[in-house]
A and B are shown apart, each in its own frame.
Chain A
Amino acid sequence: MWEYTDKVKDHFLNPRNVGEIENPDGVGEIGSLACGDALKLYFKLDENKRISEAKFQTFGCASAIASSSALTEMVIGLTLEEAAKITNEDIATYLGGLPKEKMHCSVMGRDALEQAISDYRGQKTEIKEGRIICECFGVTDLEIERAVRENNLKTIEDVTAYVKAGGGCGNCHDNIQEIIDAVQGKALPKKPQPARLTNIQKIKLIEETLEREIRPALKKDGGDIELIDVNGNHVLVKLRGTCAACKASQVTLKHYVESKLRELVTPEIVVEEV
């Protein structure tokens, strides 16, 4: 059993500010069902441009709910400039600490807040920039770099605790270590740039990757995938078997199929289901 502080338990069992705000000034949404936790954060501003109301909806464990509840309490009364300075450490500290393995819940709170502020400011959100490093949880190199830098993380285990990267199959551990080394001052070896592919080479490589890497993995779960067409960098596919009926099929498509093709064919690939 996790050792939660009394404040975490209190915010979990008696969460503050649960719900949705109609016509909010800002909304931030982070996480997914596949990842095991998600947070939707709403806020409204008063005439002085201070946050007058903040509410949340959370899918997740006790610390995810407690972090969300704490965050809403923390931001009420702040200007957006003040709120934007809240770090994940601030959320954890407010709760009297979180188990190390649960620090990603505080990171989720901080990320949702950033998205909500960006939403208010009319900045485009949603699409994560950077290269997906952890395919299991869809975590990019930029997210890992930031977590390492801001929290002075030293090990892969730390990175997993803060942003989940590396917590699944473990295939990305070498890449995470490279990022830790780079941020902590050790040189990152330069990777050779791939040669530009002709259309025929690209289609062939897509077919090979689907056959060799992707289909066997989907088949393990009773699913399958069919290549329908390739239009430039747009790869059109159809999911079959259990994948076709799976509610998390978009996660599979984006976090696994697309990122695998980006890794093994070309980083510009976009996968769409038809």
Chain B
Amino acid sequence: MKTVYVDNNATTRVAPQVLEAMLPFFSENYGNPSSMHSFGGDVAKKIKVARTSVADLIGAAPEEIVFTSCGTESDSTAIRAAIHSNPEKRHIITTRVEHPAVKNLCEHLAKNGYRLTVVPVDCDGRLDTDALVKNLSDDTAVVSVMWANNESGVIFPIEEISQAVKERNIVFHTDAVQAVGKIPINVNRTGVDMLSLSGHKVHAPKGIGVLYVRKGTKFSPFLIGGHQESGRRGGTENVPAIIGLGKASELAAEHIDEENTRVKGLRDKLETEILKRIPHVIVNGDRDHRLPNTTSIGFEYIEGEAILLMMDALGICASSGSACTSGSLEPSHVLRAMGVPFTSAHGSIRFSLSIYNTEEEIDYIIEKMPPIIARLRQMSPFWQDFIKKQPAAVE
């Protein structure tokens, strides 16, 4: 059975060129970049090249790049660094739709004496920037707002928010894990102080992340140890992964046009055809301002895990905002924050594409989805009640 992978916001395949670039650093080039000998020194030089490639992808300077282990570490380091560097300030602002890496840390800090403002989004997943700006105060230590949402794909107006935040001299962090490599990002055009990105979302391996720290930003390391990363993150570097991320960054810069044309075209085709072929389907989130690879589609009156497992039986890999897939009992906090009704929140499926998806794969999904949805609806008491009430309106 073939595998059609459309869950690229969860993780991506390692690009062949990335794997190829990494391999020597497991075997022949295994030196420690901190060593004094040239065997290690050569590795340090390669890390420098990788650092420059990552910096170029987001418009930063190489010395502003701190390699971490993942996006979560980057987020945690950024927020903790901001509050530790401003100990007199006790207020944090974030949004209702952040990734758990930010959401759960902020909630943890709120239980430990910080005042937390969680800014809402509207029904299209757009941030209430007025509410955010109104809540900025002299006591605000950090504002952390994601660049693009992992579930809906909705892109937030980071430049506009950054301007308001920086006017008040408050540290501004953005979790750009989903945005990097999919839309053009330039940290110098935004004024953002810190930015998180993750390797495995851009066709590099898992276990490597980056925290961009603007030069001059007050910083205190989360991982204290050796002098690696200019003392901003102790611990021997994950050399192969760093090299891989460097290569992946070069490829991402090359592929950004393809993401916004061909990949977007495939996403739009998938979405349009599903909406055309299946009744009572809604797209979650603002369709004009979202990532080119993402669509979150709510199938009314059925449940997401059941849809996913039927898709899985046909080799289609996607993800769901349903409660049952997460092990929690409530549907995705992102969809609930958007006010997506229960009728479709439980039955929402996220399709997230990459440059490796083909038209043939999208056609396969388009062909397979209608019978899956019809079969589950045939079992659903809510769908049956619904069609009894409107017998002439739907199939």
Contact = CB atoms under 8 A, between A and B. Distances in A.
B346 A57 contact: no
B132 to A, nearest CB: 15
Interface in B259-311: 301-303, 305-306, 309-310
A15 B379 CA distance: 9
Nearest to B118: A220
Interface residues of A, number: 39
Given A36-B322, A59-B380, A65-B306, A242 B339 contact: yes
A59 B382 contact: yes
Contacts of A247: 341-343
Interface stretch (B44-52, B156-164, B193-201, B324-332): B324-332
A36 B306 CA distance: 12
B185 interface: no
Contacts of B253: none
A60 B303 contact: yes
Given A29-B381, A59-B380, A36 B339 contact: no
Interface string A145-161: 00000000000000010
B120 interface: yes
B323 interface: yes
Given A33-B342, A221-B339, A57 B379 contact: yes
B34 interface: no
Contacts of A61: 303, 305-306, 322, 324-325
Contact of B380 (A57, A101, A137, A164): A57
Contacts of A36: 303, 322-324, 329-331, 342, 346
Contact of A248 (B310, B323, B327, B341): B341
- A33, A136, A164, A167 — which one has the most chain B CB atoms within 10 A of its CB? A33
B63 to A, nearest CB: 42
Interface string B331-346: 1000010010111001
A207 interface: no
B95 to A, nearest CB: 13
Contacts, number: 95
A59 B303 contact: yes
A34 interface: yes
Contacts of B306: 12, 60-62, 64-65
Nearest to B320: A61
A251 B345 CA distance: 15
A242 B338 CA distance: 11
Given A57-B380, A59-B381, A137-B329, A222 B302 contact: no
A37 B120 contact: no
A65 B342 CA distance: 19
Interface string A1-45: 000000000001101001110000000010001101111100000
A62 B309 contact: yes
B100 to A, nearest CB: 16
B392 interface: no
Contacts of A38: 381-382
Interface string A179-215: 0000000000000000000000000000000000000
Interface of A: 12-13, 15, 18-20, 29, 33-34, 36-40, 56-62, 64-65, 101-102, 136-137, 160, 164, 167-168, 220-222, 242, 246-248, 251
14 contacts: A33-B301, A33-B382, A36-B330, A37-B303, A38-B381, A57-B381, A58-B380, A60-B303, A61-B324, A62-B305, A64-B303, A65-B379, A246-B339, A247-B341
